A and B are shown apart, each in its own frame.
Chain A
Amino acid sequence: MTRSLALTLAAVLALAAAASPVPAGHEIVVGLQCDRVGPTNTIGPFLCPGAHDYVKLVNKKGGVDGHRIRVMEIDIKYQVPLAVESYEKMKQEGIVSLMLYGTPQTYALTPKLTEDRIPGTAPGFGRADATDGTKYPYVFPVAASYWSQATAAVKFLIDESRKQGKKVGKVAFLFFDNPAGREPIPILETLAKREGFELRTFAVPPPGIEMSAQVLDIGGRFRPDWVITHLFGRSPSVSIKELKRVGYPLDRVVSFVWGAAESDVEAAGWSTAEGYLGLQFAGVGQDFPVIQEIAKMYKDEGQAPPKEIAQSVYYNRGVLWAAVHVEAIRNAVKKFGPQIKGEHVKQGFEMIKDFTLGGLVPPLEITPNDHEGGGWVQVWQVKGGKWVRVTDWFKAYPDVLQEALKKS
């Protein structure tokens, strides 16, 4: 009985709270779901400031054709219900695009985004099948999916081995045992068959901080030529330490994008991690014009540049993330005028081409069919206390990816 009373009461409470001031003037609102305190709190506090700072820089320079962009951030703590609630809140505020955070949240919001015709981006948050824009018209991975990362990693290690005059015989895949972690396995299996190497997978059960048995198996028994790791949160640093402990050479370990940040290496120790390789979908370091501009913007305001800039892997990804949105909005405004809606921005995304932000962003080319933008990555390596670039942007095995997309 009073159940509903409590509900109504609560609703009234929320109504009062929701009546916060409405922004004045014409501004374009972009939603940002972030996780700064939940299970991925090694990422959010560095990723999201990057997005904010880039938009701040754009606004400082006059916005998009004179229209300000407002980033509306809501922390979702990596929880699906909060993601849904905050999405509805953002929709009410009239967002034209949404930055999705996290694999389960991306899955949960995909149907809603499609119904409401609001494009959402999920760089590096799984959903490789969303690359196919005809199937998932309103979801944009914009960065290399786990499938593309798998093909790139395999190509890299085959090329490296060839340079040393060897063949790739055995590859170990050490992964976090959840859907996001398992996503690249079918691709790796296909490639193993095609390139003739032996693939063995080693699952690390959540929460992923205990993997000594798996690593011992890799280093002591399986003895692969290469190890590909695909871990999240605190586990990449554990994997570095464990692999080092069993004496496995770290310059034969290639990590996917969520195990290749400064913080991961810092937690394991820079000298311990010497040689460790990692894939990146955004440039690393501060030697990019846009990062310098952000630092200068803060300096001009008489402030020190934000400390998050130093965590350049995640910070730069945040910049890339926001930049793609701003670019899509710019395209949309150019074509449809300032009163844009979600479906216009969707088309704006699909017009992104030749947009590299001075090397920070790969040569993305997003089309109505390809929402991933090519699936470009770079390989970076830990050398002398910092990440050093090893390769330029590259992608590999487009036919394998096409095949997989068709099947999904």
Chain B
Amino acid sequence: MIHRECGVLKTSYAADMALYPVPLARWTVGAVAVAAFGVFPWLAGDYLLSIANLAAIAVVGAIGLNILTGYTGQISLGHGAFMSVGAYTAANLATRVGLPVWVCLPAGGAMAALVGMIVGSPSLRIKGLYLAIATLAGQFVIEWTINHVTWISGGVQASIYVPRPALGGLVIQSQREMYYFIMVVTALAVVAALNLFRTRVGRAFIAIRDHDVAAEIIGINIFRYKLLAFAISSFYAGVTGVLYTYYLGIANYEQFTIVTSIDFLAMIIIGGLGSILGAIFGAVFLTLLPIVLRYVVEGIGGLFFTITDVLNLITNIQLILFGGLIVFFLVVEPEGLNKLWRNIKDYFRVWPFAY
């Protein structure tokens, strides 16, 4: 938490290019990894693990959208649909061809990337709100297609059951096994995204976001990189869809509607545009908020009203608080939870000798 660069001398190129140059940061990451993989899953029960699983899946999707919207500056309202593309691709491959999970997972992502590139192609000519509407059209077209083409959706029900994922002989079934499966994918997604923005490709994305004409003038092929941003981002979305599918045991497009797309946009806006940590914060925050609010409102409401009276109230108060809290956090820190976290860190960086 208290990252002091003081005394950190980089004596080699490798040290200079390290993801975490400060030793303390490395230790923190290590400790968090140990906590997430070694401690938490063995302390927590099924219920907590199920929440963690949902949050971890949301993290992948939020990072994906942040790559596109936060880092490259292209708005997408079609991410819910990209998730469903991944979900149905994986479900079809798993049930019809019988492919294992480690093939279906990237295949779902790849298919979503392909579709994402097509939906994102208008971004070459249009920007901002116009692009938002173009991707919104993509959302509806994909939704309609899955809904009506039974070859994709597996029948009039538009839902396909998938077998439990198996790695070798191990069938991933319990919440804890699911947790490890999802967390490994999430960890890979985070590390890949963190490193992406240390490469030429990532820097090109940021240049496009900051000023696309200038970026083109310094030699960035806008056509290529915008489509690449859509592809990578949709790949993440597709993987999110596949994770949902395997976690629930079913692919169903009704959970990937326009509302989902907006939810994910809300996650990255609340978490902080243009930062991986922000996407993580946003995803966890929006996943937990309704759950925590439920306990709070039930606990407090139960003191004043009988439970049947409170049931109708609770849900409505929850909604009001949900909206209120989001506005509150954005007013306190328009740049999102990530900025809030950085402010705290910056404060402690020079603490107690602030001057």
Name A residues whose Cβ lies closer than 8 Å to a Cβ of B. 1-8, 10-11, 13-15, 17-18, 20, 34, 36-37, 45, 48-49, 52, 56, 73-75, 77, 79-82, 84-85, 88-89, 91-92, 103-104, 107-108, 110-112, 115, 126, 129, 177-179, 182-183, 185-186
Contact = CB atoms under 8 A, between A and B. Distances in A.
11 contacts: A2-B277, A2-B280, A4-B36, A17-B292, A75-B315, A80-B252, A89-B47, A110-B161, A129-B157, A178-B254, A179-B156
Contacts of B315: 36-37, 75, 77
Nearest to B183: A4
A1 B32 contact: yes
Contact of A104 (B28, B254, B295): B254
Interface string B276-308: 110011001001101110111011000000001
Interface string B134-167: 0000000000000100000000111101000000
Given A20-B299, A115-B173, A183-B156, A11 B147 contact: no
A7 B52 CA distance: 7
B25 A1 contact: yes
Given A77-B290, A81-B58, A82-B290, 15 more contacts: A7-B55, A7-B284, A8-B32, A8-B35, A11-B40, A11-B44, A13-B292, A15-B48, A37-B316, A75-B294, A92-B45, A108-B250, A110-B249, A179-B158, A179-B159
A14 B316 contact: no
B327 to A, nearest CB: 18
Nearest to A183: B156
Which applies to chain A's interface (DSSP): helix, strand, loop or mixed? Answer: helix
Given A1-B32, A108-B252, A48 B311 contact: yes
B328 interface: no
B44 A6 contact: no
Contact of A92 (B28, B46, B248, B319): B46
A75 B314 contact: yes
Contact of A14 (B32, B33, B48, B186): B48
Nearest to B40: A8
Nearest to A108: B248
A112 B53 CA distance: 15
Contact of B284 (A6, A20, A77, A112): A6
B33 A2 contact: no
Nearest to A79: B255
Contacts of A56: 308
Question: Which of the listed residues B45, B46, B52, B157 has the most CB atoms from chain A within 10 Å of its own CB?
Answer: B157
A349 to B, nearest CB: 22
Interface of B: 20, 25, 28-29, 32-33, 35-36, 40, 44-48, 50-52, 54-56, 58-59, 147, 156-159, 161, 173, 175, 186, 190, 247-250, 252, 254-255, 276-277, 280-281, 284, 287-288, 290-292, 294-296, 298-299, 308, 311-312, 314-316, 318-319, 341
A48 B308 CA distance: 10
B161 A178 contact: no
A36 B312 contact: yes
A15 B44 contact: yes
B263 to A, nearest CB: 9
A288 to B, nearest CB: 21
Contact of B36 (A8, A45, A126, A177): A8
B51 A11 contact: yes
A386 to B, nearest CB: 25
Contacts of A107: 157, 159, 250, 252
Contacts of B190: 3
Contact of B46 (A1, A88, A129): A88
Contact of A11 (B48, B255, B318): B48
A252 B243 CA distance: 47
Given A36-B311, A111-B161, A14 B29 contact: no
Nearest to A18: B47
Contacts of B44: 11, 15
A2 B294 contact: no
8 tightest A-B contacts by CB?
A111-B249, A4-B36, A3-B280, A104-B254, A88-B50, A1-B29, A17-B295, A80-B255
Nearest to A88: B50
Given A7-B52, A85-B291, A108 B255 contact: yes
B46 A91 contact: yes
A15 B318 CA distance: 19
Contacts of B58: 81
Contact of A6 (B280, B295, B298): B280
A108 B280 CA distance: 25
Nearest to B189: A3
Contacts of A112: 248-249
B307 to A, nearest CB: 9
Contact of B255 (A104, A177, A178): A104
Contacts of A178: 147, 254
A103 B147 CA distance: 14
A59 to B, nearest CB: 12
Contacts of B156: 179, 182-183, 185-186
Contacts of B284: 3, 6-7, 10
A4 B314 CA distance: 30
A375 B227 CA distance: 52
B105 to A, nearest CB: 19
Contacts of A111: 161, 248-250
A85 B54 contact: yes
A115 B175 CA distance: 12
A177 B290 CA distance: 29
Contacts of B277: 1-3
Contact of A1 (B28, B47, B318): B28
B157 A183 contact: yes
B294 A81 contact: no
Question: Which of the listed residues B55, B281, B311 has the most CB atoms from chain A within 10 Å of its own CB?
Answer: B311
A316 B308 CA distance: 17
A74 B158 CA distance: 27
Question: Which of the listed residues A1, A80, A91 has the most CB atoms from chain B within 10 Å of its own CB?
Answer: A1
Nearest to B37: A4
A6 B255 CA distance: 25
B32 A2 contact: yes
A330 B306 CA distance: 27
